[in-house]
Amino acid sequence: MYKNTNIIRKALTTSIMAATLLCAGLVNAHPPSSLEQAIAGDHRSSANKARDVYRHPLETLTFFGFQPEMTVVEITPGGGWYTEILAPALKGKGKLYGAHYPDTGADNYYSNSRKKLEKKLAGNAVFSEVILTDFVPRQASELAPAGSADLVLTFRNLHNWQDAGVEQVFKDAYKALKKGGVLGVVEHRLPEGADASKAKGYVSQSKTIAQAEAAGFRFVASSEINANSKDKANHPKGVWTLPPSLALGEKDKAKYMAIGESDRMTLKFVK
């Protein structure tokens, strides 16, 4: 009887201590996901992490339904801001394709961008499983093997491709996705009724939805995760007036830093 009493007392003491530590925030009730670990990882620079407040990577990827076992395509990773998050979150479980401009050997933006990305990927083991494919704007491209992808993502790229390019990209994404797969789009948002020629770099949300639907997608939902009501899309050098580009340099820098990064639409489509 005495031994049983001691066992009960120890169990109660352990439970009370665990509850106390939990309330004090010293024990994490839910261990961080691979996505959360990737976002917090030391491989990301402090400058890139500072942009999380504008880009909301955890909330954005969660909205798109990201899971670490998925096959994911990121279209034109650019400098690899999102690749830094996707690659380690998928490593060992899922698969990441980076559909990027090919290196044609020419000294131009496209080839140089590919070279920089390849150098970045080779420089850290967290990127060792990333597969690069060739994406050519306004031409049919195999982003990933047909019907293989669970999720295709594009972040702030539509404005570079023009209408014909966007329409082709959506067709390419549709081909790469499995049935039920998701296309996730984040883009600088043109205010409804605004003149696109006076708001350079901004894209119509309604037009984007129509273009995706024309490619066969079903529009599922939009999110205001990446909205910014301070951005009126009426800047001297378009969206590039805002951070991180700050196209005007030091001129009115405080004003544009106070606005922050652009107002963005976040759209989810399903094949």
Calculate the dihedral angle through the C-alpha atoms of 135, 138, 140, 142, rounding to the nearest 10 degrees. 20
pLDDT in tens, 39-71: 999 999 999 999 999 999 999 999 999 999 999
Tell me the pLDDT of the chain averaged across its residues.
91
Numbers of helices and strands, H then E, in the chain: 10, 8
pLDDT in tens, 21-44: 444 444 455 678 999 999 999 999
Q: Where exactly are the structural domains of the chain? A: 1-30, 32-270
Q: Note the pLDDT of residue 114.
A: 96
Q: Note the pLDDT of residue 55.
A: 98
Decide the pairing of beta strands 95-100 and 218-223: unpaired
The CATH number of 32-270, from 1.10.3720.10, 3.40.50.150, 3.10.20.30, 3.40.50.920, is 3.40.50.150
Contact between 176 and 144 under an 8 Å Cβ cutoff? The reply is yes
Q: Note the pLDDT of residue 26.
A: 42
pTM of the model: 0.88
pLDDT of 9 above 80? no
Q: Give the Cβ contact number of residue 47 at 10 Å.
A: 9
pLDDT in tens, 85-115: 999 999 999 999 999 999 999 999 889 999 9
What is the pLDDT averaged over residues 172-180? 98
pLDDT in tens, 179-194: 999 999 999 999 998 9
Q: How far apart are CA 174 and CA 213, in angstroms?
A: 10
Closest by CA to 150, choosing from 101, 206, 93, is 93
What is the pLDDT averaged over residues 2-25? 44
pLDDT of 225 above 70? yes
Q: Note the pLDDT of residue 1.
A: 44
Q: Note the pLDDT of residue 197.
A: 86
Contact between 144 and 97 under an 8 Å Cβ cutoff? The reply is yes
pLDDT of 155 above 70? yes
Q: How far apart are CA 266 and CA 64, in angstroms?
A: 9
Q: What is the separation, in whole angstroms, between the first and last Cα of the chain?
A: 65
pLDDT band of residue 210 (cuts 50, 70, 90) is very high
Q: Note the pLDDT of residue 2.
A: 42
pLDDT of 14 above 50? no
Q: Compute the C-alpha angle 141/146/150, nearest 5°.
A: 105
